[in-house]
Amino acid sequence: MPILEKSKQLKKELNLFNIYMIATGATIASGFFLLPGLAATQSGSGMIISYLVAAIPIIPALFSKVELATAMPRAGGIYYFLDRSLGPLLGTIGGLGAWVGFVFKTAFALIGMGAYANLFMPHISIVPIACGFAVLFGIINILGAKKSGFFQSIMVVGLLILLGGFMMNGLYQIDFRHFKGIFDHSIENILATAGTVYVSYVGLTKIFGITEEIKNPEKNIPWGIFLAFATAIIVYGLGTVVMIGVMSAEKLSGDLTPVASSARVIAGPLGALLVSVAAILAFFSAANAGILSSSRYPLAMSRDYLLPGFLGKLTRFQTPANAILSTVGLVLGCLILFDPLKIAKLASTSLLLLFALNCLAVIVMRESRIPSYDPGYRSPLYPWMQLSGILFPLVLITEMGWYPILFSIGLIGLGVFWHYYYARHRVVRDGAIYHMFARWGERRYEGLDRELRSILKEKGLRDRDPFDMVIAAASVIDLGEPVAFGEVVGKAAARFERRFPGRGETLMEGFMQGTRVGATPVSRGVALPHMRLPGIEGPEMVIVRCRVGVPIEVDEDFLGEDASPTPVHAFFFLISPDEDPGQHLRILAQIAGHADNETFLKRWLSARNEQDLKEILLRDDRFISLVLHPDSRAASMIGYAIRDLTLPEGSLIALIHRGGDIVVPRGRTVLKEGDRLTIIGDPRGIREIYERYSEK
C-alpha cells in the first residue's frame, strides 16, 4: 500500500503583489459585473445589504484558511487542510467539493465575460464565447504560474483604475429616491440573496489552492489575502450603491450587464464602453485565476492517491497539464448544462459547506496539539471565530432553498462513494483528529507529524528565531578518537550541566530515551538529539563532531527516506523552553536542511576549528567573516575594543579566532591584528558591513 511519498514540488514563483492581484482579480468579477442584476431580482435595493451580509461568513473562513495555509502551504488548499485534519474521507469530500465549487465559480465568471463580450459581438451567443475563453485560459495556465501571474497583474491593475473612475463619477449622480424601501425586505429574503451573492467573495480563497507556489508564505499569504478582502469590501459596497443610485432596482433587475447599463447612465456610450472593457478584464482575471487554482485540487488529491495518478503529473513547465485539462473539461460542461443563476447558487452552496468544514479543521488542528503544527499566523478569537464560521454558512444554505440543500447532500454522497469505491484501499493515512483521540485514549497517526515537520524544513526559520545566536553561543566538542554513543551523550550532558546545574542526569536520560524510541532524527551522518524543558529562558545547543563515526541503533520505522543507522559524525544536542515547540522544531528543521546537502559531511569533517564548524551552519545572508590584516579594509578595527566599534543595529561579533584559540567576545575585548571575526546580524546589517569592510 502506498503511503505518503515525495512528489515533485511546484515552483515557488508568486510574491505578495502576485497574490494580491490573483485574489483581487478572482473576487471582483462576476460578483460585481454580472450578479447585481440577478440579486436585484431577488431583493431589489436590499441587495446592498445582502452584499454586506454575505461578507460576514467569509471572515471566519479567511482567518481559518490563512492559519492553515501558513502552517501547511501545499497545493490543494481546502482539500489538503481537511484531509490532514479530519482524515481522507472528509478530505475526499472536501477535495471533490472544492474542485466542483471552483469550477462552477469559474464557469460563472466565463458567463459574465461572454455577456459583456456579446455587447461587442452580438452575432455570437454568450456560451460559445465563454467556452472559447475557457480553452484559452487552460493553455495560459499550462505554460506556468509565473506567466499566468504576470498576465493576471496587468489585467487587475487596469481593472482597478477603470473601476475607480466608474465609482467616483457615479457617486455624484446618485438619485437617493432609488434607495426607498431598502429596509422593507424580510430577513429571510436578505439572507437568501446573501447566500446567492456569497460567491462574490469566495474568489479570495482561490489563492489557497496555489500556496505551494508562493514565496515566503507565512508573510505573503496573510498580507495578500487581507488586502484583497479590504479591496473587495470597498468595491462591492460603493459599487452596488452606485448601481442602485443611478438606476432603480426595477431597471437593474435581470440585467446581465448591470455595470455597463449604469455607466451608460453616468457617462453615456463612452462610459459603457470603458466599463465593458473593465468587465472583460475582470472576467479574464477571475477565469484565469479560477482555472489556475481549481486545477490544483485534482493535483493534490492525485498525489495522495485519492484520484488517478495521471492528474498529478507535471509538464516541463512544472504545471499539472492533465489536471488543468480536466478542469477545463468540467468548466465547459457547466457552461453547456446550467443557467447563470443555478451556477451561482451551486458554487455558493458547495463552497459554503467547505468553509464550515475548514473552520472545524482549525479546531481539530489546535486541539490535537501536534508540536509540528506551527502556523505563521494564528486566527484571533479562537474558538468563537471558528464556531461562527461553522454556523453562518449552514444558515445561509438553508435559506437558499431545497435545491442547494439537495446539492450539498449529493456532493457529500459523491465524496463518500468515491472514497469507499476508489480511495480507501489506496491510502494509509489518518488526520489530526486522531491526535485528539489520542488525548482521550485512542490511536494517533504519526505520519502526519512527520509530514508537518518536513513542511517546517521547507518553510525555514522566522525572522525572530534566534538560530544564528544559538549556533554562535553553542558549546563545541571535537572528538578524534572512537567513542560510543553513550559517551557522546554523557559529554554533551556535562556541558549542559554547567549552564543548568542539577539537570545533567535528566538530560542524559532524556537524550538516550529519545534515541531508543526513534524521536532523535538520524540521517546522512547527522543526529539531532533534542528535548524541551520547563523553566529555561531560550534554546541552548551543544555541537559534537566525531571524526570517527559513532554507530546508533534506531528503529527502522522511524528512519526517513535517506536515513541510515550508521555512522554519525555530527551531533546537535538541542534543548528549548517547553512553551515554544514551534521554534524548537524550526531550529531542528534548519539543521536538518543543512544535513540534506550532499557536501555537508565533507565540509564538516574538513573544518579546521570551532569557528569553521559554526560558519557551516550559519545562514549565508546573516553572517560575514572578516580577517583583520593591516592592509585590509577592516584594518580600522585593529586596536579598538568591541564596545567602541560602530556596527549596524542588531549586528554583533559572535566569534573571534586568535592564534589557534577561540576568544569569547566581550565589550572590553580589544581586537588585534590577525583576528578572524564572525559577525552575525540581519541581512541588511550584514550587507552594510560587507560594503564597508569586505575586500572588493
Q: pLDDT digit string (tens) for 230-255?
A: 999 999 999 999 999 998 888 888 88
**Percent of the chain whose pLDDT exceeds 70:** 89
Residue 438 has pLDDT above 60, yes or no: no
pLDDT of residue 506: 86
Q: pLDDT digit string (tens) for 254-274?
A: 888 888 889 999 988 888 888
Residue 371 has pLDDT above 90, yes or no: no
Q: pLDDT digit string (tens) for 14-72?
A: 888 888 888 887 788 777 888 888 888 888 888 899 999 888 888 998 999 999 988 88
What is the average per-residue pLDDT within 195-208? 79
Q: pLDDT digit string (tens) for 552-573?
A: 865 444 344 444 456 899 999 9
What letter would DSSP give residue 694? S
471 pLDDT tier (thresholds 50, 70, 90): very high
411 pLDDT tier (thresholds 50, 70, 90): confident
Q: Which three cell numbers stand for residue 274?
A: 470603458
Q: pLDDT digit string (tens) for 504-542?
A: 888 888 888 776 655 677 778 888 899 888 888 899 999
Q: Which domains does the chain have, with CATH numbers?
A: 16-426 (1.20.1740.10), 460-613 (3.40.930.10), 619-693 (3.30.70.1450)
Residue 551 has pLDDT above 60, yes or no: yes
Q: Which of 91-105, 374-388, 617-631, 640-654 has the lowest mean pLDDT?
A: 91-105
Cα–Cα distance between 196 and 40 in angstroms, integer?
A: 11
Angle between helices 258-294 and 88-120 (to 10 degrees): 140
Q: Which alpha helices (DSSP H) does 73-216 contain, by range? A: 78-86, 88-120, 126-142, 145-171, 187-197
Average pLDDT in the chain: 82
pLDDT of residue 495: 92
Q: Are 534 and 578 in contact (CB under 8 A)?
A: yes
pLDDT of residue 557: 41
**Exposed e or buried b per residue across 519-541, where buried means at least 16 C-beta atoms within 10 angstroms of its C-beta:** bbbbbbbbbbbbbbbeeeeebbb
DSSP string, 582-594: HHHHHHHHHHHHH
3-state SS class at 215: coil
Contacts of 566 (CB under 8 A, 6+ apart): 549, 551, 552
pLDDT of residue 249: 85
Residue 597 has pLDDT above 60, yes or no: yes
How buried is residue 659: exposed, middle or buried, by Cβ count under 10 Å (0-12/13-18/19+)?
exposed
Q: pLDDT digit string (tens) for 309-327?
A: 888 787 777 778 888 888 8
What does the angle CA 413 – CA 417 – CA 419 come to, to the nearest 5 degrees?
115
- Tell me which amino acid residue 87 is: G
Largest CA distance in the chain: 92
Residue 399 has pLDDT above 90, yes or no: no
| Nearest to 435, CA basis, from 348, 347, 523, 369 | 369
The percent of the chain in helix, strand and coil, each rounded to the nearest 5, is: 65, 10, 25
Cα–Cα distance between 569 and 353 in angstroms, integer?
A: 52
672 pLDDT tier (thresholds 50, 70, 90): very high
pLDDT of residue 5: 41
- Tell me which amino acid residue 46 is: G
Q: What is the 3-state secondary structure (H, E, C) of 347-385?
A: HHHHHHHHHHHHHHHHHHHHHHCCCCCCCCCCCCCCCHH
What is the average per-residue pLDDT within 643-649? 89
Q: What is the 3-state secondary structure (H, E, C) of 447-481?
A: HHHHHHHHHHHHHCCCCCCCHHHHHHHCEEEEECC
**Taking phi first (over 0 means left), then psi (-120 to 50 degrees means alpha), and beta for anything else, what does residue 528 get?**
beta
Residue 659 has pLDDT above 60, yes or no: yes
φ, ψ of residue 475 to 5 degrees: the values are -85, 135
- Tell me which amino acid residue 121 is: M
Q: Which three cell numbers stand for residue 66?
A: 490563512
pLDDT of residue 562: 46
What is the average per-residue pLDDT within 89-117? 79
Cα–Cα distance between 50 and 528 in angstroms, integer?
A: 56
Pick the more confident residue, 394 or 587.
587
Residue 433 has pLDDT above 50, yes or no: no
Cα–Cα distance between 319 and 11 in angstroms, integer?
A: 9
150 pLDDT tier (thresholds 50, 70, 90): low
Pick the more confident residue, 561 or 463.
463
What is the average per-residue pLDDT within 484-510? 88
3-state SS class at 656: strand
